[in-house]
Amino acid sequence: MRASEFRRAVDEEFGPQGRVLTRELVVDELGDRTADDALDAGVPAGDVWLALCRANGVPRERWHGRGRPAPTR
């Protein structure tokens, strides 16, 4: 997952409050860091996305595919 896909996934899943979540929610699984801090520290965006999903009770069926651009034909 690229950083742009991560941002798109956050926007799609959490709506307007998604950016606040990535900036302010401290996630144990990310070493007691926010998602933004984890990304800045070099944690892969896909790992941050999954940790954010688990921390917020996002159903497993919505963990994959979010944030990916629609396939072109």
Domain span at 41? 3-62
CA dihedral 36, 38, 41, 47 (to 10 degrees): -120
3-state SS string over 25-53?
CEEHHHCCEEHHHHHHCCCCHHHHHHHHH
| pTM listed for this prediction | 0.86
22 domain-assigned: yes
34 domain-assigned: yes
From residue 62, how far is each of 35, 46, 66 by CA, in Å? 18, 13, 7
Percent of the chain topping pLDDT 70: 88
Residue with tokens 């965006």: 45
The predicted-structure confidence for 14-28, as pLDDT tens digits, reads as follows: 999 999 999 999 999
The predicted-structure confidence for 58-68, as pLDDT tens digits, reads as follows: 998 888 866 66
- Domain tally for the chain? 1
67 domain-assigned: no
31 domain-assigned: yes
The answer to whether residues 48 and 42 touch, using CB atoms and an 8 Å cutoff, is no
